Structure formats: C-alpha cells, structure tokens
Structure 1
C-alpha cells in the first residue's frame, strides 16, 4: 500500500502533533522493508528535514508555499491536493493533523487523526475567521474521512457528540512516552550540573513544556500559583516555561513581569529535541495546568523520566494522568499553590508518586499505537476497495 502523508498543520515538529507524527514515522520506517507499506510525506523541505532525519525508507514529495497560512492551505487542499494524489498514485492518504488540515474529497480512502476539538471548549482560542472554520467547515470535512483516529476516549466522545461521527468509525490510539528517550536519570546530580551549564538553571525548578498560548495553556494561573508558593518556600525554586510564543503570549510575559519572583521565571523558547528529556529529568516537579488537552503527552514523558507530576482536572488529563496524579481546577491557582508546596516539602510523597507514575507511563506503548494505526489503514483500504 502506497500512503501519502501531508505534513501541513504539524508545526514543523514544534508541537505535540509534530511529536506524534515523528514517533509514528520512526516506527513506520523501521517496518517498511518487510511490511508491504510505502510512505511518502507531502510538504516543505523544512518538514522533510525534521521528520525524515535519520530515517532510511520514507519518501518525500516537495510542496513549497502551500501552507503560508491556514486559509491559504485550506484552498490548496481542496484544489491542488486531489490532482496531486491522483498523480502520485496513493492508495490511501493519512492526515496526521486532521483537526487542522483536511481535503474535502480525494479519489482514494482517507484516514485522519483528530487530536481534539479544543476550539469548541475554549471560545477565546481563535479569531472569528478561524472559529467559523473550526465550528462550521471542519466538522463537515471530518465527516468525509473514511476513518477517524483520535488520541483519547475524551476526544472520541467529543467527535461523536459535536461532529456526529459514528462510534465504529473512530479508533482511539493513545499516545505514549518513548521509553528510549524518556527514562529515569542514572545520575541526577550529573543531570542537574549539565542543566546548569547548558541553561544556567543553578536552582531547583518547576517545569511546564508547552507553546505559550493564552488562555488555553493557562500559564498565567501557573505563574500566580508559583508566586504564592514561593512566598512560603524555604528553597528558591525557579519556574521554567519552554515553548514558542503563540496566541496572546504577551499576556503571559506580562504576568511573569508582574511577579515578585520575575527573575526566577525563565522562558528559554523552543527547546531542541535532544534537550527535552534532560529538562524532564532535572525538574523537581512537572506541572500541566492546561484548560484543555486532547491528550497531554508531556504528562507521560515526565512520568517516564521519574519526575513527580501535577495536572489540572480538565478534559483528557484525568484519563491520561491516572488515578494517582494530584489535580486542581484550572482556575484555582491558590489550590495549585497548595499542591505545589505539599509535594515539594514531602520527599516520601514524591517517591511514592514517582513509583506509581513509572508503572502508569509504561502501560502506554507507541508500538501498540503504531499497530492500531496500520490496522486502521488496512481495514479502511479494504472496505474502500469493496465499495468501489
């Protein structure tokens, strides 16, 4: 089976969707010699350089300037992608960012991953044009997919409720922490010394890895909670917030500047792929305060790195974080401050949480996710062939 994979909407690897695609491609590449599958990315050189780095078998068809902005790419997908699919002879097209980029109709079966329907939960997330597209046009395009993949039971229920896709047309493929990348440190002191040299973080730190997007990612309440907790802390912790600036990021920076501990709130920007596991390992605590997550992969990555985790109780985070994870309401920054103090001052509680988290994270598997994804390709293709 020859499968085309448009990379539009995956943020050139600089987001959770980009990490998702990269993890799948690594495993697709390892399987290709014996599986009968052939894969080809469709997108710009920037995407090929990132996603295919170190891979041997996956092809690339160059398409530049098709994704100048979401509206431009929408029309490109409707007008230019269908003839391209016919020209390349794909047996199936896989859209890894189907909650962002889709084509209305192709001459082959389609499978798309709808990671979440965040726009329906966070009204301030997009401007009028993007909101109109996501609320009125995107559900119509999703329903045209031959099969829908999604990353949590929470998102599946959203798709059934808001898009009216039938249960049997949706497969949940949970994500996972890559156990080869994310694992407990062999020497924690050496890790922290390395972090001090690379990043200049010479104090213990709390970590939250996410694009800087307000209000959805909820950095502002985390900063408020951090400031309250620092007032009561004996030890001068840092708050480290890696990620690129996105919608309304200036409001996050303004809140940090207002904090009496502004000098201890660090914004390193986008962090290289190789440095992310190190930051998890060195953190005293990982916090995910988001107002909405379709999955929340950093939760499992931090757990696999033997770092205690605290999350909000929003959307899929209860499902993904497991019963052992301490939680708070995303608006309750005072409650979050209390949780932070409670965990940071109780070594026994931290150790118990780390032990439970390691077992929980290990119950998720990229190999299982890959197998379910390939199975959906095969079933969708076979069903399509019988109907046509």
Structure 2
C-alpha cells in the first residue's frame, strides 16, 4: 500500500461509519475501492473511530474464507469496529436496519461508497457515486412480456428504488464524491444542484501491478470477459479477428473473467466469427492471475462504450502493457497519450491500433514508457487523503 505521508489531526474522537458491504464481495472494481479505503482511512485519521457495517447474509458475497481474511485485516486497527447487520435485501439493509445502527452507535458521519444513499437518517452523509450508468439506463415503466406480473412488479419496485436513490438521495447527501473528472461532469450536468458539493479523486492501483522483470517475452492479446452492452465485447472480438493470420497465431486472444453462457454476446460473436478454436477463455480469476496475465500479454484491449473510471486501464499501464481503448471520455482522460484509441463501434480501427502495437516496436516502447509514467500517479494514499480531508470538512 505504500507509506501514508501523515495523519490528519482531529480535535476529538469522532465516529465515522462506512458501508463496508463490498469488502465481502469478489475483489474487483467497487469492492477493491471500498476495501482499500477501509485499510487506509483508519491510519490517515487515527483519532476517528470507524464503524464498518457489513452484511454476511447477502447472497452474492465472496467465499467466506476469502472475505474473512479481509475482515480480519481491517479489524486489527485499534480505532475500528466491524458490525454485521444481516439482511436478505439491500433495500432493507440500507433504509431500515442501517439507520437504527447509526443511532445506536451515535455516528457523526456516514460514508456510502457504493452508489447508494441512506435516505432515512439525519446523520451527515458523504456518498461515492462512481458513475451514472445505472441512472442513464433506468427505465422504470418498462414492461417485460416474457415475465410474469409478479416479476414485472418486482423489477418496477427495484427501478423505482434506484430512481429515488439518485433523484432524491443525492440531493440529501452533504457531499457527493466521484472517481474521475468525467464522472463529476456527468453528475453535475445531470443534477446541477450538486455542483457546489461534489468533488472527484482518482482510484489508486492495487499492489502487484508492476512491469515484469523480463519485458521481452510478452505474447498475446488480452481482453476481459464482461458481456454487457457497455463493455462492447463484440467489437473487441471482431477487432482481433481482423488481424492478419500470422499475428493471430503469434498473439492469440485470451479472455479472462467470462461467466456468461451460450447466449452471451461473447459466445454468439465467437461462433459467428468462427474463432472458437483460436482463443483462450477463462472464467473468474484471482487478482494474482490477473496480474500475471497483464504482465505477460503484449497488448490489452479495453474498448468499453462507457466507464466511470476504468480500473483495468491503469492496472495494465502499471504492468507495462500498452492498451487499445475506445474513445470513451474517461478512458481518454485517464490514458492520455499512453493509449491507442478508436471509436467503440469501429472494430476495423480498433484492429488497426492493436496491429500497430504488435508490429511497431518504437510505438510499442513509447506507449509502455508513457503508461508507466501516468500510472505511477495513481496512488491509494492520495485517494485516502482527499477523502479524509472531505470527512474533516464535514465533521467540522
């Protein structure tokens, strides 16, 4: 994690609560963000007593052995209490059970770091809204013909709840934190009243993402297995399939983290392109396996239609592997001149960018060097210090 430059002085022992439910989930993206905050903030603010509220009953938690190790680590701080609140639904946890615990433990400030808001509490609140993808895709009154009336009512209730969280909840928050300049601009354009009570700070890079000792044996093209429309997997697959056959043989495509089935857009596109026997597909991998893949791959293709930050982009640059991205605003913001980019729908241009990196040694080395320089600025210590300073402002 590195060394914290200095703790922030607090005049008295305030009580700060963090919604730490994501610490119990598979460690990617948002869970990584929450877990790192839970490790660093108690060190940055030693005079604050932190209460980390979790939910061991949530059905999509990681394996118990995995998350118990993380809980043990964050429980070791003398100024931390981990409090479990069992609930079968997130709505019940957030809006009914959590407010009771805030009152019981006399909390001064609540941080909801996972795109949610606690509506039924008067405790001061900071919300991390990573992006507005949920909000932009929200269609409350959509009726699904292939679902029963009961199922449609369930989805309506969920959508209505999300509408309330974003439309009303964000305005109730005392501060809205986000993770990129792009996300902040999107949030303040969508909700102008938040302009004067919002800020952004970039993520840091988890430990282990660094260049390999031997940078000459890199081989292959890497992509991740997200199969949502936002992740744009079909055009990344088409981009690789457009490479000359000799490049395909020299640099096969590996897909990591694929959990879809035969009806997934990834599976359908692979069959349509006839490349079933030419690529490697792996399911969910550990962070160590992801690090190894990023260190040993020649090129990483990450051409999402939209991202709130783009964790894998920074991780790949830090691993010494250049990246081909889409022209999504935040990817251009983060990658700057270290990336090769093209429009998300233009698989021919994406393919050309991948081919250039695989065949132009001078361009390749230039992008590797720039990626390492840019990624070195993304530290969790800086993230934690910005958030701690925001806490202090609200507590005062």
Q: TM-score, normalised by structure 2?
A: 0.82
Q: CA offset at residue 280 of structure 1?
A: 1.1
Matched, 1:267 2:284: no
Q: CA offset at residue 167 of structure 1?
A: 2.4
User: Structure 2: how far apart are the matches of 1:29 and 1:116?
Assistant: 26
User: Structure 1: how far apart are the matches of 2:25 and 2:39?
Assistant: 16
- Give 3-state SS (helix, strand or coil) of 2:338's partner: coil
Cα separation, partners in 2 of 1:370 and 1:284, compared to 1, 3 Å? same
What are the Cα deviations for residues 34-59 of structure 1, in whole angstroms up to 9, with x where unaligned?
x2122222113457526435342143
Q: Identify unmatched segments of 5+ residues in structure 1.
A: 193-203, 383-388
Q: Which residue does the alignment assign to 1:182?
A: 209
Q: Identify unmatched segments of 5+ residues in structure 2.
A: 1-13, 145-154
Q: Which residue does the alignment assign to 2:131?
A: 116
Q: Which residue does the alignment assign to 2:11?
A: none
User: Structure 2: how far apart are the matches of 1:26 and 1:264?
Assistant: 42
What are the Cα deviations for residues 193-251 of structure 1, in whole angstroms up to 9, with x where unaligned?
xxxxxxxxxxx3211235x2321111111111111115462644222222253799722
What are the Cα deviations for residues 156-215 of structure 1, in whole angstroms up to 9, with x where unaligned?
11111112333221111111223x42111113478x7xxxxxxxxxxx3211235x2321
Q: Which residue does the alignment assign to 1:157?
A: 185
**5 Å matches for 1:289-328?**
289-328=303-342
Q: Which residue does the alignment assign to 2:388?
A: 374
User: Structure 2: how far apart are the matches of 1:230 and 1:81?
Assistant: 56
Q: Which residue does the alignment assign to 2:105?
A: 88
What is the root-mean-square deviation in Å for CA atoms of aligned residues?
2.7
> Are the counterparts in 2 of residues 13 and 51 from structure 1 also a CA contact under 8 Å?
no
Aligned with residue 168 of structure 2, among 140, 161, 183? 140
User: Structure 2: how far apart are the matches of 1:246 and 1:61?
Assistant: 34
User: Structure 2: how far apart are the matches of 1:329 and 1:158?
Assistant: 20
User: Structure 1: how far apart are the matches of 2:108 and 2:250?
Assistant: 57
- Give 3-state SS (helix, strand or coil) of 1:80's partner: helix
Q: Which residue does the alignment assign to 1:209?
A: 224
Q: CA offset at residue 80 of structure 1?
A: 1.8
Aligned with residue 247 of structure 2, among 233, 255, 274? 233
Q: Which residue does the alignment assign to 1:38?
A: 49
Q: CA offset at residue 96 of structure 1?
A: 1.1
- Give 3-state SS (helix, strand or coil) of 1:59's partner: strand
**5 Å matches for 1:26-65?**
26-31=39-44, 35-45=46-56, 46=61, 48-49=67-68, 51-55=70-74, 56-57=76-77, 58-64=80-86
User: Structure 2: how far apart are the matches of 1:264 and 1:30?
Assistant: 48
Q: Which residue does the alignment assign to 1:103?
A: 118
Matched, 1:171 2:185: no
Aligned with residue 21 of structure 1, among 34, 43, 48? 34
Q: TM-score, normalised by structure 1?
A: 0.84
Aligned length: 359
> Are the counterparts in 1 of residues 240 and 351 from structure 2 also a CA contact under 8 Å?
yes
- Give 3-state SS (helix, strand or coil) of 2:170's partner: helix
Cα separation, partners in 2 of 1:233 and 1:14, compared to 1, 3 Å? same
